[in-house]
Amino acid sequence: MRIAILGGSFNPPHIGHLILAEEVLASQKYDTVLLIPANLPPHKIPQDDPGPEMRLSMLRANVESWPQIIVEPCELERRGISYTVDTLAEISRKYSCDGKPGLIIGDDLARDFSTSWKSPEKILDLADILVAHRLYADELDLPYPHRYVRNIIVPISSSLVRERIAHNGAWRSLVVSPVRAIIESYGLYRHR
């Protein structure tokens, strides 16, 4: 089985996550995409976090109709700061992968991969880097082995969804119906 990994806060998960996962399944020839919610992301401070259990519930609701997209809660179960190198080691023990898993990172994080990620050389040993267009239409010249995902740039982020909810803006079409139901029933992201 060929596995790709997409990590993040997923606070909340939105249609952009699904579009990217589907693009990797279609264009990169992976069988499964694992969505891995971070417990404590090392690259950003969580904003308006409803807690790991609620983010996990929303993420599972986000993919309930996608059998090729699996939610893997290993970082939440491990607790502490969610370092990719630790997750990759765990995934390689837990899953039977054909070759290295693909690690999907956005081009917004790709430039700093070699300097700001924990053990980037070890990550390169454990995974193939798949760079997704997030901010830039053109491919960046990156100093490490990688492949680009030929994805469309979807200008949706979790922070945009939270901001629109907090200010009574239009947000419901940016998430799938089951996620919208959870956000509405628990009144998430309303208080700022």
* Tens-place pLDDT, residues 58-109: 999 999 989 999 999 999 999 888 899 999 999 999 998 889 999 999 999 9
**Residues 123-168 pLDDT 10s:** 999 999 999 999 999 999 999 999 999 999 999 999 999 999 999 9
Q: Delimit the domains of the chain by residue range.
A: 3-186
Question: Could you give the angle at which helices 177-186 and 52-62 cross, rounded to 10 degrees?
Answer: 150
pLDDT surpasses 70 at 20:
yes
Q: Element (H or E) spanning 71, and its range?
A: strand 69-71
- Mean pLDDT, residues 8-28: 94
Q: What is the dotted CATH code of the domain comprising 3-186?
A: 3.40.50.620
Nearest to 50 by CA among 14, 98, 10: 10
- What pLDDT is recorded for position 192? 56
